[in-house]
Structure 1
């Protein structure tokens, strides 16, 4: 039986030489239980490769998620960019259905010239259009997972993510704790700061398994700047406090490691978690 909190890399493991869609066996052999397939630079996986990924993930008991392209902007001012973003989201949903991904992670958009309230309104309208089109195309096996974003210019603070997810049945949050930390210019200073995040989630959403990202992070006044490894302790946020909070509150979670060392740091995170049980 798997533990409540499981770990995996954001993309192909550091020393793995094969194709990204055949990485599940390697990840399982390392002792990890999750894998986020990265399509941040563009969604290029076809149905055949996605089916192989699905078959391997079932065989190896790896929980798969998909990170959609970074250039999605569901709050775009320009109609052309908005329509392109909806089209990319549709392709991501189709790919996720092929590969059996339990979450489709994406960055909602940017405020641009709009107020945060108006940007959120446009994004929700875009999502309604997306869901209608997916229904027309017969794509139904998906769960979109908007991510808390790291730059202060981006739509995606925790309240906005909760608002989006509470508005649609097929949406669950992706909580990137490093992004919350960076966006808040060092927000997570103590263990109770994690508990404040959990309280917001519990008050606003009904979550069975929380999908998360974690890395140590460097930030500026504008928010996120650069990811750092687990061992670079001069950068926050603190992982131990997060794991203790998960254990104390009996949360189920998938933690995707986004440090430069991906699977290697995911294993260190898993070892720390097991030492706290």
Structure 2
């Protein structure tokens, strides 16, 4: 039986040389549990390859999620960018359905000098359009997972992600703890600092499994600057041990996707630490 907390890389393992859609066997042999397929610059995987990824993930018991394009902006001031964002989300949902992705991760957008409340209103209108278009396309198997964002100019603090997920079916949060840390200019320094995140999640959403991202991160006044390895934790936060202690103490089921430059190698370090703590 799997542990309550699973671990996997954001993208193909560092030393893996094969096709991304055939990575689950390699990931399983490393001792990991999950895999976030990356489509940051547009959805380029075809139906045949996506279905092979699904077969491989089922064969090797690897939980698949998918990260959609970076170009998505639900609250853009430009109608053309809204339209393009919808197309990116539809392409993500279609490919996600083929590959059996349990979460479709995306960054919601940018405030663009508007008040957060107005940006949220526009985002919700865009999501309503999205559902209409998905229904017209016949796409039914999807769970979008808007992600907490790392820059203060972006829509996507914890409260905003919770509001989006509480407002729509087929929406579950992605909590990127490094982004929360960077956006708060070093907010997560000890175990107790996570309490307000988990209490908000518990009070507002019914989450079966929490989809997470984690990396050590460098930040500035505007938020996120650069991802770093776990080995650099003494210089940059947050500390993975504090997150794991919270998940263990509160009995959370979670899937932690590692986004350090050493994504699979550091995911294994996370898993080894977790197993030493339970």
Q: How far apart in 2 are the matches of 1:143 and 1:79?
A: 25
Q: How far apart in 1 are the matches of 2:188 and 2:137?
A: 43
Q: How far apart in 1 are the matches of 2:147 and 2:110?
A: 13
Counterpart of 1:211 in 2: which secondary structure?
Answer: strand
Partner of 2:104: 104
Counterpart of 1:231 in 2: which secondary structure?
Answer: helix
Q: Please say if residues 151 and 223 of structure 2, whose CA atoms lie closer than 8 Å, have aligned partners that are also in contact.
A: yes
Partner of 2:29: 29
Q: How far apart in 1 are the matches of 2:96 and 2:124?
A: 21
Q: How does 1:129-168 map to 2 (within 5 A)?
A: 129-168=129-168
- Worse-superposed segment, 112-121 or 8-17: 112-121
- Worse-superposed segment, 46-55 or 186-195: 186-195
Q: How far apart in 2 are the matches of 1:123 and 1:90?
A: 15
Deviations 1:67-87 (A, max 9, x none): 000110010000000000001
Instruction: State the TM-score, normalized to the length of structure 2.
Output: 0.99
Partner of 1:176: 176
Residue 21 (structure 1) shift: 0.7
Asked if 1:14 is matched to 2:25, the reply is no
Q: How does 1:106-255 map to 2 (within 5 A)?
A: 106-233=106-233, 234-255=235-256
- Worse-superposed segment, 214-223 or 108-117: 108-117
Counterpart of 1:2 in 2: which secondary structure?
Answer: coil
Counterpart of 1:196 in 2: which secondary structure?
Answer: helix
**Gap regions ≥5 residues in structure 2:** none
Residue 113 (structure 1) shift: 2.8
Q: How far apart in 2 are the matches of 1:73 and 1:19?
A: 29
**What RMSD, in angstroms, separates the aligned Cα atoms of the two structures?**
0.5
Runs of 4+ in 1 over 6 A off after TM superposition: none
Task: Give the aligned length.
Answer: 277
Q: How far apart in 2 are the matches of 1:200 and 1:190?
A: 18
**Gap regions ≥5 residues in structure 1:** none
Partner of 1:256: 257
Q: How far apart in 2 are the matches of 1:25 and 1:209?
A: 23
